Amino acid sequence: MATGENERMRVLVAMSGGVDSSVAAALLIEQGHDVVGATMKLWGGPSDSGCCSVADVADARRVADKLGIDHHTFDFTEDFEAAVVEPYAIAHREGRTPNPCAECNRHLKFRRFLDRARRLGFDAIATGHHAKVVRDAEGAPRLARGADRQKDQSYVLAMLGAEQLERTLLPVGDYAKSEIRAIAHRLLLPTADKADSQEVCFIARHGTTAGRQRFLEQRIALHPGRVLDKRSGEYLGAVPAVELVTIGQRRGLGLRGGLVGENGASRRYALGVDVATGTVLVGGEEELATRFWPLSQWTAVGARLPVGATVEAQASAHGRPRRGVLEPSGVRLAEPARRVAPGQLVACYLGDEVVASGVVTAASSVPPGPRADA
């Protein structure tokens, strides 16, 4: 089923309680669609991140009342625990650095929520993401960057396939953030000046290492780790929890004596994490460089993965796109770039359109030795 602005549809809008999804609902109403709002209750634990809270549900309901539309709340806490929270803890236990927001989009917002919308008889769902659904020459849906490059969220939606995009509307993707807030003010929406949520919704204290550690230590065992120089094998220090270290990390590595040398010449970065041996390998920034990002868990937006295509690969929400060639096992980069932590998402673009995405896989070579807590 093709979706578009010229055809009146029944649309279920995922209203998070923020300004973007509020305006998304308003724009769809102005376009003549039959709109209903729904808020997903995802996290039942404590949170101070301004996301997934009781206040967000209340804000979404207030906006729905202002717009004159029905509003529902869907309790997906069990699904969220199974598909996002538990894998997040397991990834850390195995030494990977997960991307919970991308996985929430993959499993909850564009699978569970979409399935519920279908069963309720809606033609499409909509969210407040800053991205676009466009059509190729054959009319197939494609995901593209939003008009506001500073707020573009196509990266966190890069795992969506054509089936999901066919039933998805992204109304705010054609607007700058300033325009979205202006529309919210014009319509006197109660979320017009609400700050954007920035952190992982189930990690308190704004996603700091301390908050992450407190969360994880309730779910997995955390172990101290030894820090070794990758080249010499020299013992340099210790970390309180090897499961919390990520590739590229510089601070909090417990290095003896701190930084040495002028202009940061002796700054050390985490190059490898091996939870099994409780070991963190460190080295200079130049040792982070690579010409290949290994990927698995591919999603191809089209019928097949465009192997051999020259793409722009992006490894974070607002990271610098890197030119490279798509291969079955990853992206061969045209120029050296920093390694990406295992578990992170890489989005591959042709121009402004996402053509594929994958999850980083890597294994570090760690010198043999006992665990730090042995």
Q: What is the pLDDT of residues 304-343, one digit of tens each?
A: 899 999 999 999 998 999 999 999 999 999 999 999 999 9
Does residue 83 sit in helix, strand or coil? Answer: helix
Q: 265 and 353: one domain?
A: yes
Does residue 193 fall inside a structural domain?
yes
Whether 50 and 197 map to the same domain: the answer is: yes
Task: Give the model's pLDDT for residue 373.
Answer: 43
Between 324 and 363, whose confidence is greater?
324
* pLDDT tens sequence across 205-262: 545 678 889 999 999 999 999 999 999 999 999 999 999 999 999 988 988 654 443 3
Query: DSSP E strands: which ranges in 180-246?
Result: 225-229, 235-239
The pLDDT of residue 150: 94
Which pLDDT score is estimated for 350?
A: 95
Mean of the pLDDT values across residues 338-361?
Answer: 95
3-state SS assignment for residue 344: coil
Q: Which is nearest to 186 in space by CA: 71, 67, 70?
A: 67
Structural domain including 82 reads 10-129+170-206
Tokens of 51: 């996301």
Residues 324 and 330: their CA atoms lie apart, in Å, by 10
In a domain, 154, yes or no: no
pLDDT of 364 over the 50 cut = no
pLDDT of residue 127: 98
Mean pLDDT of 58-87: 96
End residue of a domain, out of 162, 178, 206 = 206
The confidence score (pLDDT) of residue 362 equals 72
Domain with residue 193: its CATH number is 3.40.50.620
Instruction: Specify the higher pLDDT residue, 50 or 320.
Output: 320
pLDDT digits (tens, 9 = 90+) for 176-220: 999 999 999 999 999 999 988 766 778 865 456 788 899 999 999
Among the listed ranges 136-140, 156-160, 255-259, 272-276, which one has the minimum average pLDDT value? 255-259
Say yes or no: 62 and 195 in one domain.
yes
Q: For residue 5, is it within any domain?
A: no
pLDDT at 370 over 60: no
Indicate if the pLDDT at residue 351 is higher than 50.
yes
Both 179 and 125 in one domain: the answer is yes
Query: Do 372 and 326 share a structural domain?
Result: yes
Do 16 and 71 lie in a common domain?
yes
Distance CA 362, CA 330 (A): 11
Q: What is the pLDDT of residue 47?
A: 54
Q: Which residues are part of the catalytic machinery?
A: 104, 201
Q: How far apart are CA 233 and CA 212, in angstroms?
A: 29
Q: What are the strands, taking DSSP E only, across the chain?
A: 10-14, 34-41, 71-75, 124-126, 131-135, 141-145, 168-169, 225-229, 235-239, 269-274, 279-283, 289-300, 310-314, 322-327, 330-338, 345-350, 353-360
Please state, in angstroms and rounded to a whole number, the distance separating the CA atoms of residues 245 and 220.
15
State the Cα–Cα distance between residues 371 and 338, nearest whole angstrom: 28
Sign of the four-CA dihedral 222, 224, 227, 230: negative
User: 317: domain CATH number?
Assistant: 2.40.30.10
Average pLDDT over residues 138-153: 95
- Domain final position from 147, 178, 206: 206
Residue at which a domain ends, from 178, 206, 234:
206
272, β-bridge pairs: 281
Looking at every residue in the chain, the average pLDDT score rounds to 89
Determine, yes or no, domain membership for 47. Answer: yes
The band of 264, judged by pLDDT with boundaries at 50, 70 and 90, is: very low
CA 31 to chain centre: 30
Cα 66 versus chain centre, distance = 31
Residue 92: how many CB atoms within 10 A of its CB? 26
Q: Are residues 315 and 232 in the same domain?
A: yes
| pLDDT recorded at residue 203 | 80
Q: Mean pLDDT throughout 70-82?
A: 96
Residue 50 has pLDDT above 60, yes or no: no
DSSP string, 205-224: GGG-HHHHHHHHTTTS----
User: From CA 358, how far away is CA 328, in angstroms rounded?
Assistant: 10
**What's the CA angle centered on 345, arms 75 and 117, to 5 degrees?**
30
The confidence band for 371, taking pLDDT boundaries of 50, 70 and 90, is: very low
Same-domain pairing of 300 and 329:
yes
Say yes or no to pLDDT of 33 above 70: yes
Asked if 90 and 187 sit in the same domain, the reply is: yes
**pLDDT score at 262:** 38
User: How far is it, in rounded angstroms, from Cα 180 to Cα 193?
Assistant: 10
CA 289 vs. chain centroid, Å, equals 23
Stretch 24-49: mean pLDDT, rounded? 87
pLDDT of 143 above 90: yes
Residues 117 and 225 occupy one common structural domain = no
**216 located within any domain:** no
Question: Does residue 287 lie within any of the structural domains?
Answer: yes
For residue 326, give the amino acid letter.
Answer: L
**Is 51's pLDDT higher than 70?**
no
- Examine the domain organization and report whether 180 and 68 are in the same domain: yes
**What string of H, E and C letters represents the secondary structure of 298-320?**
EEECCCCCCCCCEEEEECCCCCC
Q: Is position 197 within any domain?
A: yes
On whether residue 144 sits in a domain, the answer given is no
**C-alpha distances in angstroms, 207 versus 102, 203, 211?**
16, 5, 6
Question: Looking at the 3D structure of the chain, how many domains does it have?
Answer: 2
> 37 and 174: one domain?
yes
Tens-digit pLDDT profile for residues 166-175: 999 999 999 9
pLDDT in the model for residue 78: 95
